[in-house]
A = this chain, B = another copy of it.
């Protein structure tokens, strides 16, 4: 199989952690409901390809996300090696109860950086969302769990347009203060360009949240995800979210949410000699297999090129 030529360049990290969101963020945004056995096999194959951080599912109420209604059943089926971290998304204390019952060791919570999205997604104000997160995070930490904080709509919001960095940093810093070990800065609608990325990371570090606590999460809706990721790497970020095969983005529809494909990211990182521990060939084979299960082609350009 074709591989990128390795040519290093200055100013980039030696190693990057790929935070794989395909099984959760990817499958949650696919219209098909995937069988639990297929999900389990998918996650096993991702781990076998070398991914060491895989967000496996969500304990959001099945009414909202029927695609992941089998979260408990899935986790019971999984038997991942100890080296693999397998966080799950938890919206609130009820979700935390279910996660604890499933022996989860890491959770992620999902915050909004804008009032409108907080209202639409969480039925709360920007401020009120913390009434939900605070007890969830505190109880999770008391149980010894680690907590990741997603901050969504960091670079733009479909209703409000531009989002002030100050507002994003305020939400993020509050999550860190509550005990989150990491923030994932999400470009939920995929509109960001590199100047915004540099500015937002700079605003966080100026507020005392170091790059070691920041992960980036770009959507490829406007084709900008990989250039923005490269920009974040230059700013010192070393954790990047992506979705195997670009799951969760529809390549044909205008409404594409468009997660950055792990393979497209990995092609760049492999070419730059940035270590990830992930095997591109195994990953592509996994995404081709998953695309067959979903009955639609992968939107990942690397998967399309290598599987063609």
Contacts and interface: CB of A to CB of B under 8 A. Distances in A.
Interface in A287-308: 297, 300-302, 304-305, 307-308
B302 A191 contact: no
Interface in A145-199: 155-156, 161-162, 190-196, 198-199
Contact of A223 (B8, B226, B256): B226
Q: Which of A195, A226, A230, A264 has the most CB of B within 10 A?
A: A195
A23 interface: no
B226 A224 contact: yes
A155 B9 CA distance: 15
Nearest to A300: B223
Contact of A196 (B271, B297, B304): B271
Contact of A222 (B190, B231, B267): B267
Interface string A252-291: 1111101001001001101111000000000000000000
Interface residues of A, number: 53
A96 to B, nearest CB: 35
A2 interface: yes
Contacts of A220: 223, 301
Contact of A193 (B194, B256, B272, B301): B272
A50 interface: no
Interface in A3-24: 4-9
Contact of A191 (B4, B254, B256, B297): B4
A251 interface: yes
7 contacts: A4-B222, A5-B156, A8-B195, A221-B301, A226-B227, A252-B304, A255-B308
